[in-house]
Chain A
Amino acid sequence: MTFVDLDGLRCHVQRLGPQDGRPPAATAVLLHGLLTDSLASFYFTLAPALAAAGVEVLMYDQRGHGRTARPPAGYRLEQFVGDLERLLDRLAVTDRVHLVGNSFGGTVAFGLASRRPSQVACILAIESEPASPGWAGKLDGILRRSEQHLRDEDTLAWVATQRGAHTARLARSAGALLAGTSLARDIPASRLPAEAELRAIHCPVLAVYGSESDLADQAAWLDALLPDCRSVVVPGQEHSILIEAPDVVRELTLSWFAGHGVALRGPQAGRRLQPAVAKRSLV
């Protein structure tokens, strides 16, 4: 395992790159979500396909999650964005990066695009949104409810019955994260960008939503707000598209990268990605 010290935060990093000995076609940074998420969600879904297509893939566990350190406090959005900035600096990543963010990971991606516009090539945001007063209010509710429910043995037993032992274990870990840190109070207290800051995010953005998720309602708002944003709604999916429909996310990401100047290679390069995606009746 590789750990990188980010000003005192021991951060777990995984990299997968092309195996053909040639320089990578691009660098992608994959950003996972809150609580039950970790870099494993990408490691087992999107990352191998990107590496096989010639992309250098950088994944890390966000503070408090996975194998990265869990400080008792310091979980405002700007601190997560600061970790990403420090990580890029420590690893001397000077290329423009292609960001893929799942849920809160996308919120971090928008934060980096705001802080370092010249370093972000594009953003693929899965079931995600930039920080806003509405976002902070919603996260406050979700985190409060999670904090209450994930310490309840009956709830955890119910999760095990409904979603299986692995999800139940992730839920238990999330409960420990909430009980042991100030995350639930810090996230809603994050510094929120003014609307003008969001309008200034000029990089291309693809926002992916599940048709059954309440986030899909905001697609039109985000498309109108950001200078270069379009949306794709995946039918029949809820919030966990990355886990539930990894093949759809893979196809979307590869065609999105190919459409934004990344010369993909390997078995992915010759494929006609866009028609395959269209056939799944996205939109």
Chain B
Amino acid sequence: MTISEHPTGLRPPTEPEVLAELAGMLTVVLDDCGLGDAEVTMQTRFTEDLGLESIDLVTLAGQLRERWGDRINFAEFVAGMELDEIIGLTVGRLVEYVVDRLQPGERA
């Protein structure tokens, strides 16, 4: 780590910050249909509430990696889940995963 990487600049994002960014990504993923009036909260389900298809989740996975790098590995995150569980995923569960992976201890 070099001196220019001041700790405050490297502060890992909080849950509300990740949630806000994720909501922004969702508007891009759903470009043609948009989010409409849907409010994105930690309880929002990707498929049931936002109408995402499985291919939309793949797109979102790409955006997450572009934003936060290889530490955010969506395929790995869902690897142990059944498809029903993936389809029933809440925004909150993904937010928690991202926040957890971006903790300094998770760098290596």
Contact = CB atoms under 8 A, between A and B. Distances in A.
Contact of B58 (A40, A52, A169): A40
B106 interface: no
B31 to A, nearest CB: 11
Given A165-B47, A166-B47, A243-B83, A41 B75 contact: no
Given A1-B62, A246-B83, A44 B78 contact: yes
B108 interface: no
Contacts of A16: 75
Interface in A178-232: none
A104 to B, nearest CB: 16
A61 B55 CA distance: 9
A165 to B, nearest CB: 6
Contacts of A39: 55, 58
A117 interface: no
Contact of A49 (B59, B79, B83, B87): B79
B57 interface: yes
A164 B87 CA distance: 10
A110 to B, nearest CB: 25
Contact of A246 (B51, B57, B82): B82
B44 to A, nearest CB: 14
B42 interface: no
A1 B59 contact: yes
A164 B53 CA distance: 12
Contacts of A61: 55
Given A169-B53, A170-B53, A43 B58 contact: yes
Contacts of A52: 79
Interface in A42-80: 43-45, 47-49, 51-52, 61, 66-67
A42 B78 CA distance: 12
B53 A51 contact: no
B53 A40 contact: yes
B86 interface: yes
Interface string B43-86: 00001100101110111011000000000000110110111001
Interface of B: 47-48, 51, 53-55, 57-59, 61-62, 75-76, 78-79, 81-83, 86-87
